[in-house]
Every structure is written in C-alpha cells, then in structure tokens.
Amino acid sequence: MIEEKIESGNFDWDASLEDVHMNIEAAPRERNFTPRAAGTIRLRSIFDFMLKQKLLRYPLAFSLQTALLDFAQQHVDVVMPGYTHLQRAQPIFLAHYLLAQIEAFARDAERVRDCNARTDVLPLGSGAVAGSTIVLDRQLMARQLGFSRVSRNSLDAVGDRDFVCELLFCLAMIGMHLSRLNED
C-alpha cells in the first residue's frame, strides 16, 4: 500500500515529478493498474468520491429518530424534570423532550444533505492549477462516478477546502447533539 510505503520511508520519490500528488498518482502504474485508470486518478477526486459515498449513508440517523419517536409514543404520559443550566427547572413530558432531540437530529440531517449538495461536484480534470493535459469528458466522468455536476473553475476546485470544514462542522454538531442526549 502506498501509505505504508510513505510512512515506513520506503516510497520511491521521483524528483522529476511535479509534487507529492504526482508521485502518488504515478505509484499505481507500478502496481499494474491500467494506464488509463492510473492516468486519471486525482487524489482530491478520490477523496470527494469517498466523502460523497459516506454522506449518502447519513440516513442511518433516521433510524435513531424513528427509535426516539417510537419511545416517545410508548411513554406519552411520563413526566420528567426539565433542566436549565444543569438545574431542575420545571416538569416536562418525556415525549416532549424526545421530540426536541428528533428536531435537533432533523437539522443535522438537513445540514448533511446541504453539505452533500455542495460536495457533489467533480473536480477531476482541474489539474494542479489550470486544468489537465489529459483529455476527458468531465460531464461523462461525473455521471459515471455519480456526481451531479463538475467544477466550473480549476483554481477554485483544487484550492477548495470548504467542504471539509463544513463536514467537520456538521459532524461536530451531530456529536454535540449525541452528547447532550447521552448526558440527559
């Protein structure tokens, strides 16, 4: 594996290649990958593809929302203390509390869907700065890889890290909501 070779110091760096990305891109050729596949791999595109696949799996949160709703329906008349600033404030229904958690997770799911919409852009063909010398049909590649559109500007595509920051924010919010539920 390329990562293991780099970490162990056994990766053969080719100084004639432009940068670390080109070195890693060239490595699959040594492992008998087809020249076409090796020539079109771009690390950012691979990362975008994997991220897109992970974001599409977030509907699993729907299972949590469904479980909370089922539990709320089974315990409609249960009263519990409502807290503010870690102190008991007033009595509330457990179902009301659980519905609040469902609302928070619904916002999380909406944020992830929005993040996915902005991540659903194929940068393949953007090259390192101003495009690629490899002739490819970007629209076709986007369709084949399951992206809804291609990047419009190569400089923006290769420098874009918005999607990473946005995803990290979404995950932090999900973590905070899970933490709050767990603490309560």
The parent domain of residue 58 ranges over: 42-183
And the tokens for 172? 């932090």
Report the percent of the chain where pLDDT is more than 70: 76
Residues 33 and 51 grouped into a single domain: no
Is residue 131 a contact partner of residue 154, using CB atoms and an 8 Å limit?
yes
Is residue 61 a contact partner of residue 109, using CB atoms and an 8 Å limit?
yes
And the tokens for 96? 């009301």
pLDDT value at residue 21:
63
Residues 47 and 108 grouped into a single domain: yes
Residues 34 and 62 grouped into a single domain: no
3-state secondary structure of 16: coil
Residues 165 and 99 grouped into a single domain: yes
pLDDT value at residue 54:
61
Residues 35 and 59 grouped into a single domain: no
Token pair 């600033």 is found at 85
pLDDT band at 32 (very low <50, low <70, confident <90, very high): very low
pLDDT value at residue 69:
94
10 Å Cβ neighbour count for 132?
A: 16
Cβ neighbors of 46 (< 8 A, separation 6 or more) are none
Whole-number mean pLDDT of the chain? Answer: 80
Residues 86 and 140 grouped into a single domain: yes
pTM of this prediction? Answer: 0.65
3-state secondary structure of 136: coil
| E-assigned strand segments in the chain | 79-84, 87-93, 121-122, 149-150
Residues 12 and 73 grouped into a single domain: no
What b-and-e string marks burial along 170-184, b requiring 16 or more CB atoms within 10 Å of the CB?
beebbeebbeebeee
Cα(63)–Cα(16) distance, rounded to whole angstroms? 52
